[in-house]
């Protein structure tokens, strides 16, 4: 199937729920569903049952596990029609500056909370595994967070430091980015920035480009070569004797676009959920040479392997957007027992009259 589909073509090609379900099944298990297997035991001895359920039910002949196309994927336990999922994937995958939860809610006729959860689940399918890069690599850091009144311009206590490690494009290969938020316990110093550099690069094969920040000096010494430009002295690009262009303009440009998405589309991103937005942005940056449809389909193919993000806490190991259990899981408060009024006297109670049987006087 051709990767690039416009939203109009999408609605024509997948006019009903059955076609959307078939699309997700084909993406997960391949055309003709030949790779269909049990998510619990991995057996390929599975069969599709004919039921009147919303999603077709599959049965494993080995372990008896019953599953659907969404089981064990980022779409697990979804109550939404898969057509809405399909549209949401294409809206987020095809947007250059991201899609806000509110816009998603209006477009798909769902509540804002559902749309927000949906957006994060799709973002989790866009997560790239950590990889090590070599070649010419730029690194830089920025601060994301709003302005505060009555404090100086350099006030950063309400902001989150974000570091990016960008491999520059060459004539043959496309440059890639890996961006991470530093958590509040980490200081922006040589130890932290250096640790991230060691995780994501191979220093002996990497030429590092940074700005004049002193924290890069110590980690930079372990690299094959380390070039710095001094932004404070208004030095932005320098041709060095070994033929390398010393600059961090790729990283600066990347941050410029990232901040446009955060300020212009989302307006506010919390500390807790920022990493997932960064991953969406990295994914789009790293697939910028393919068309929107191909990028979206590639993300949709990962639904089975991506990490699940649940709205409420379910079990350890699964990311939850809210740090509390489902409201319905809370123990119900017992109603206090009504006290029997204390009788004043100990006189025996008058016996209650039972129902009268027989003819009454009215008749």
- Least distance (Å) from Zn ion to the CB of residue 67? 8
CB 208, CB 225: distance < 8 Å: yes
- Least distance (Å) from Zn ion to the CB of residue 78? 22
- Is 23 exposed, middle or buried, given 0-12, 13-18 or 19+ CB atoms closer than 10 A? buried
- Least distance (Å) from Zn ion to the CB of residue 31? 23
Query: Strands 160-167, 177-181: parallel, antiparallel or unpaired by DSSP?
Result: antiparallel
- Least distance (Å) from Zn ion to the CB of residue 228? 56
- Least distance (Å) from Zn ion to the CB of residue 56? 17
Angle between helix 274-286 and helix 249-261 axes, rounded to 10 deg: 120
- Least distance (Å) from Zn ion to the CB of residue 212? 58
The residue ranges that bind Zn ion (CB under 5 A) are 38, 40-41, 43, 60, 62-63, 65
* Residue in the block written with tokens 């990016």: 164
Closer residue to Zn ion in complex, CB, 65/244:
65
CB 162, CB 181: distance < 8 Å: yes
**Separation between Cα atoms, residue 174 and residue 286, nearest integer Å:** 8
Listed in sequence order, the residues at least 6 apart from 266 whose beta carbon sits closer than 8 Å to its beta carbon are 98, 100, 277
Closer residue to Zn ion in complex, CB, 41/318:
41
Q: Which residue(s) pair with 159 in the sheet?
A: none
Closer residue to Zn ion in complex, CB, 49/322:
49
Question: Residue 253, Cβ neighbours under 10 Å: how many?
Answer: 11
- Least distance (Å) from Zn ion to the CB of residue 68? 14
- Least distance (Å) from Zn ion to the CB of residue 184? 43
Please tell me the number of Cα atoms within 13 Å of 335 on its side-chain side: 3
**Separation between Cα atoms, residue 140 and residue 325, nearest integer Å:** 38
- Provide the token pair at 231: 């932004």
**Separation between Cα atoms, residue 99 and residue 281, nearest integer Å:** 12
Closer residue to Zn ion in complex, CB, 38/181:
38
Closer residue to Zn ion in complex, CB, 28/273:
28
Helices (H) and strands (E) in the chain, counts: 10, 12
- Least distance (Å) from Zn ion to the CB of residue 63? 3
Helix, strand, coil % (nearest 5) of the chain? 35, 15, 50
Which of 31, 27, 15 lies closest to 87, judged by CA?
Answer: 15
Closer residue to Zn ion in complex, CB, 65/271:
65
Closer residue to Zn ion in complex, CB, 71/100:
71
Closer residue to Zn ion in complex, CB, 3/64:
64
Closer residue to Zn ion in complex, CB, 68/265:
68
Q: How far apart are the first and last CA of the chain?
A: 87
Query: Strands 133-144, 201-210: parallel, antiparallel or unpaired by DSSP?
Result: parallel
């Amino acid at each position: 199937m051709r990767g690039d589909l416009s939203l109009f073509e999408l609605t024509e090609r997948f006019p009903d729920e059955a076609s959307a379900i078939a699309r997700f099944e084909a993406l997960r298990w391949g055309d003709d569903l030949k790779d269909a297997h049990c998510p619990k035991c991995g057996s390929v001895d599975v069969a599709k049952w004919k039921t009147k359920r919303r999603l077709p039910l599959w049965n494993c002949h080995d372990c008896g596990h019953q599953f659907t196309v969404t089981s064990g994927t980022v779409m697990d336990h979804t109550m939404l029609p898969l057509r809405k999922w399909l549209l949401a994937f294409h809206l987020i995958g095809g947007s250059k500056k991201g899609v806000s939860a509110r816009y998603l809610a209006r477009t798909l006729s769902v509540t804002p909370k559902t749309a927000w959860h949906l957006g994060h689940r799709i973002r989790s399918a866009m997560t790239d595994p950590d990889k090590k890069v070599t070649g010419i690599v730029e690194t830089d850091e920025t601060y994301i967070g709003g302005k505060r009144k009555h404090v100086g311009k350099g006030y950063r206590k309400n902001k989150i430091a974000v570091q990016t490690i960008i491999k520059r494009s060459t004539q043959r290969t496309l440059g890639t980015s890996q961006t991470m938020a530093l958590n509040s316990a980490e200081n922006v110093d040589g130890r932290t920035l250096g640790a991230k550099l060691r995780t994501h690069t191979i220093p002996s094969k990497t030429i590092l480009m940074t700005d004049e920040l002193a924290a890069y000096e110590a980690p930079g010494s372990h690299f094959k070569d380390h070039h710095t430009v001094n932004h404070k002295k208004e030095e932005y690009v320098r041709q060095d004797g070994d033929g390398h262009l010393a600059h961090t303009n790729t990283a600066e440009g990347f941050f410029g676009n990232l901040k446009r998405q955060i300020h212009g589309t989302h307006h506010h991103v919390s500390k807790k959920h920022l990493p997932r937005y960064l991953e969406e942005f990295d994914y789009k940056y790293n697939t910028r040479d393919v068309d929107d449809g191909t990028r979206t389909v590639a993300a949709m193919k990962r639904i089975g392997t991506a990490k699940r993000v649940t709205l409420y806490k379910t079990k350890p190991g699964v990311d939850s957007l809210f740090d509390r259990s489902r409201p319905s899981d809370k123990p119900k408060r017992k109603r206090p027992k009504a006290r029997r009024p204390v009788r004043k006297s100990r006189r025996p109670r008058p016996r209650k009259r039972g129902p009268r049987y027989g003819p009454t006087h009215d008749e």
